[in-house]
Amino acid sequence: MNDSARVQEYLAEAYRLVSYKQGERYITTSALAEAVGVTAPAVTRMVRRLKDDGYIEHEPYKGIALTPLGEREALLSIRRHRLVERFLVDVMGFGWHEVHDTADDLGAVVSDRIVSRMEELAGYPKRCPHGEPIPTPDGVMPQVIDTALQDVQVGEEYVLSRVYTHDPEMLLYIEHLGLQVGKRFRLVERAPFNGPLQLQIDDVVHHVGHELAGILRVCKPEEFEL
């Protein structure tokens, strides 16, 4: 991965981490290091560079926060990545468990013209294969309304909105259950003390453990847009 691509990766991961914190601007450098998969000294060097380039603010004991410039760069990087993922799945026939790392590599080098063509061939998608919204060309992130699966009411019908993982084995297992982004199901029962949840998917009841339920975001059918 070249130097520019590495900067884009850091900014995109920083944006993703902040988006999961619901209102909190700052993230820790250790969280960023874990998300990118680097050591503490490596993330420290990159944080220093990103700060010098005006992409982030760094406050001791609070962490780092994206500046407006850094957020815009992150959003454009995320847009390229998610459109490449959609192209790989919808046009080239890859599975949703295969495309994250490849999209990282391709998204860092393809031109805006090629990405626009990918978007057209994929049918102008609004979400990536994992349900995350695709930013607009001018760097605006659409808002998605959803809730963690373990926090919703039993007995209601829901739609799988997003999955908070790129782990291939977990994605394959979710697919094996019959779930995909946009799929309807019913939450039948929730066992106490962080026990498994029962999901009715296509008239078949499946048991989903607490760990897996923690990465599934759901919404009511009328709230889902794809």
What pLDDT, on a 0 to 100 scale, did the predictor assign at position 21? 76
What pLDDT, on a 0 to 100 scale, did the predictor assign at position 51? 95
What pLDDT, on a 0 to 100 scale, did the predictor assign at position 60? 85
- Contact (CB, 8 A) for 27 and 14: yes
What pLDDT, on a 0 to 100 scale, did the predictor assign at position 184? 97
Q: What is the pTM of this model?
A: 0.88
What pLDDT, on a 0 to 100 scale, did the predictor assign at position 1? 56
What pLDDT, on a 0 to 100 scale, did the predictor assign at position 72? 94
What pLDDT, on a 0 to 100 scale, did the predictor assign at position 197? 96
- CA dist list (Å): 196 to 41, 76, 100, 210: 40, 38, 28, 6
In 51-203, beta strands by DSSP E: 56-59, 63-66, 147-148, 157-163, 184-190, 197-201
**Is domain 1-142 in CATH 3.40.50.2030, yes or no?**
no
DSSP letter string over 73-107?
Answer: HHHHHHHHHHHHHHHHHHTT---TTTSHHHHHHHH
Give the chain's residues under pLDDT 70.
1-2
What CATH number was assigned to the domain covering residues 147-223? 2.30.30.90
Ranges of each domain in the chain: 1-142, 147-223
What pLDDT, on a 0 to 100 scale, did the predictor assign at position 2? 64
What pLDDT, on a 0 to 100 scale, did the predictor assign at position 84? 97
